Each structure stands twice: as structure tokens, then as C-alpha cells.
Amino acid sequence: MKTLSILGSTGSIGTQALEVAKKHRFKIKALSAYSNAELLAAQVKEFGAEYACIFSSSAVKTLRDELSGSGVKILCGMDGLNEIASLDGVDIMLNSVVGMVGLEPTLTAISRGTDIALANKETLVAGGELVMRAAAEKGVNIYPVDSEHSAIFQCLQGNKRSQLRSIILTASGGPFFGRSRESLADVTVEQALAHPNWSMGKKITVDSATLMNKGLEFIEAIRLFDVSPEQIRIVVHRESVIHSAVEFDDGAVIAQLGVPDMKIPIQYALLYPDRLECPTKRLSLTDYGTLTFSDPDTETFDCLTACISAIKLGGTMPAMVNGANEEAVAAFLAGKIGFLDIGRIVSDVLTRFDKRDINCLGDVLEADKEARDHAACLIGR
């Protein structure tokens, strides 16, 4: 029986991970949430977790009331996430929080030698150099949970990494595929949250609509698989059946297919290398009939272009576009800016700031703060 801790247990990935954990009888050591104290408490009671962390200080009292007399240790904020990440007796920690908040506990878990199932892409976007270096030094395994990176990871099994020629990173295209830039000027929050294939949290769903999500995944793939930007091709695949593919030096292309259900990559990360029955629908290709492919529109969706430029520049630039995007998406969801303003704000940090090298966590956090402050100024205007 494996012992599991989950950061972000009340979100889409976290709740599905608990389904997998229940089916395969994982022991749950610790759970955390941003602010949903009621659901977190219910999960803690159901799975017998010993630790519960609520990130938002305003929700601590509710969590304490819900778990009164249970003997569960209640934690809060970044200190709480780091305490969970440093617990002994944990075989694997699933990091499924959203945003930069996931970076520090990832580094903490690595320092303790705990393997990580990583669904928090911002960790590798902003601090990928630090994370991958630390993981290599400590002999820690990082198992990707994003469906695309899980697909690449699966396709590489049993093959020589040195013979990998390129990666085909698939994208659904989001809800606005095929639309002109002009037609996106009046996009509403509700329209941006209407993803055609996947059920995700609000921030990630907006990122999918702007193609920022694919830009972040482009950067993440470079970090995880040690390839150059030129070795990755993004292909829009509307049906989300092929989750990504790899091409080898001999011209063979191997792809991973499945229904668009995150329980498959979640389970593969948690149970690797075993492949056991998964609580999901089976793929029937005849149900789809036709699979389609096209190039992304990088002129209309400038967030994707900004991410590719940022990783080519390197250093602090990926952290800066990520930080600016987090601020911009929050402002869009709050009705403070328009949909196209997200891309303008993200792109602006590339022209306003110079690249700096990353040597420590402080370098990442400083770059992130500068980008957020700049984005906040633009939003305020």
C-alpha cells in the first residue's frame, strides 16, 4: 500500500486523484485546499488523513470547527504546505495546486527525497531549472500528471532518450479555435470557461482559451524531457484523443491515445510503472470516426507566442510571463479587463524586463513579483 499526500485535494485533479486512491487503497497522509474548508474536512474524515492544510487564513476557523475533536493536525498557508511536503513516510506527493504557490513545496518535498506527481505546471515554468537540478541531485522521481506530458512520458518508455528526435504536443484549441482576433474583443467570462472537452478549474480553463496553457506546457516539456524549443511542435487536435506523441530518429512516431479523462494520467503517475484498472470510460475510435489536426494560430493567440519567446530567452523570463498571466487572468475573471488584454499584459513583460539568471528560489520569487506588480499597474490603467 502506497502512502500519498495531496496538495490541492478539493480541485479537479485532487478529487479525481482521491477516486484513484480509493480504488487502489492508498493510505492518505495529508490533504490541502485553498479555501474550501467544508470539502477538505469531508475528505479528511473519509480518507483518515492525519494532516489538513487550508491555504487561506480566512478559512482556518471553519476547518477547525469541522474537524474539532478529530485529532487531525490543522495547518495553514505556505508554512502548512511546506510541512506537508516535508512529512516522513510519504511515498509520493501529488502537487495539484494552481499557480506559483506550488513551487516552494515542490522544492521542499524534493529536499526530503519524496517522489512527486506533478500537476502544477507553474512549478516547472517558473523554477524548472532549480526543480530539475534538485531532483537529479536527490534522486527524486517527478511523474507528470498533465495529460500531454504523461503521454510523452508513456511514449518514451522502453526507448532510448538519446534517439528522441522531436515531440508533438497536442492542443485542443480551446473554445475559440478558428476565430479571428477581432471577434475575441467582446468575449465574456462565461464563454471563456466553456471548454469543449475538459472539465477544469477556472484559471486553467481561461489559460486554455488563450492558449497560455499550451505555452506553459511547451515550457514544461522542455524542462521535463530536456529538449530544445526547436524539437517541439504544437498541433491542434480538437478531439483530444491523441494526448501527445514522440518522433524517433528512425522516423517512427509513437502516440498515446485515450478518452479525455484526467484519471488516466493521474493513475499512471501514482502507480507507475503498474497499469491497473482505471475508473474511466474506455476509448472507442469508431465513436469518433475522424481525428483532425492543424497548426495553432500564434498571431491571434499571443499568449502562446509569448511563452515560446520567454523560454527561448531563458532565465527569469518564463517566471515573468507566468506571473503576469496569473494576475491578468484573475483580473479578467473579476471583470476588470477584457479577454484580449490578457495576451497584451503577458507579452508586455517581455519588452519591459531584461532576462536575469536563476540561481536560487529568491531569484524566481523576485522575478515573479516584478511581473505581477507590472501587470497590476497595467490592469489599474
Residue 95 CA to residue 3 CA, distance in Å, equals 14
**Letter string b/e over residues 322-356, b meaning 16 or more CB atoms within 10 A of that residue's CB:** bbbbbbbbbbbbeeebebbbbbebbbbbbeebeeb
Burial class of residue 109 (count of CB atoms within 10 Å of its CB; 0-12, 13-18, 19+) = buried
% helix / strand / coil in the chain, to the nearest 5? 50, 15, 35
The full set of domain ranges for the chain reads 3-144, 149-380
What pLDDT was estimated at residue 111?
97
Q: What is the DSSP letter of 294?
A: B
Whether the link from the prior residue into 273 is cis, omega within 30° of 0, is yes
3-144: CATH superfamily: NAD(P)-binding Rossmann-like Domain (3.40.50.720)
Within 13 Å of residue 322, how many CA atoms lie on the same side as its CB? 36
Residue 372 CA to residue 381 CA, distance in Å, equals 14
What pLDDT was estimated at residue 28?
98
Residue 170 CA to residue 244 CA, distance in Å, equals 5
Q: Where are the beta strands (DSSP E) in 34-141?
A: 51-54, 73-76, 92-95, 115-118
Question: Which distant-in-sequence residues (6+ apart) come within 8 Å of 118 by Cβ?
Answer: 95, 106, 124, 142, 143, 144, 145, 269
If the chain, 381 residues long, is cut into consecutive pieces of 10 residues, what is the mean pLDDT of each piece?
A: 96 96 97 97 98 96 96 97 97 94 96 97 93 97 97 97 97 93 93 78 91 96 97 97 98 97 97 95 95 96 97 97 97 96 97 96 96 96 76
What pLDDT was estimated at residue 196?
72
Question: Which distant-in-sequence residues (6+ apart) come within 8 Å of 308 by Cβ?
Answer: 215, 218, 229, 298
Q: What is the pTM of this model?
A: 0.94
- Look at the block and give the residue holding cell 503521454: 151
What pLDDT was estimated at residue 198?
64
DSSP, collapsed to helix, strand or coil, labels residue 257 as strand
Question: Which distant-in-sequence residues (6+ apart) come within 8 Å of 298 by Cβ?
Answer: 304, 305, 308
- Which residues face 242 on adjacent strands? 257
Burial class of residue 132 (count of CB atoms within 10 Å of its CB; 0-12, 13-18, 19+) = middle
Q: N- to C-terminal Cα distance for the chain? A: 54
Domain 149-380 matching CATH 1.10.10.60: the answer reads no
Q: Angle at Cα 297 formed by Cα 321 and Cα 232, nearest 5°?
A: 65
Residue 98 CA to residue 298 CA, distance in Å, equals 25
What pLDDT was estimated at residue 195?
75
What one-character-per-residue DSSP string does 101-113 give? Answer: GGHHHHHHHHHTT
What pLDDT was estimated at residue 381?
76
What pLDDT was estimated at residue 234?
98
Cell of 15: 478529487
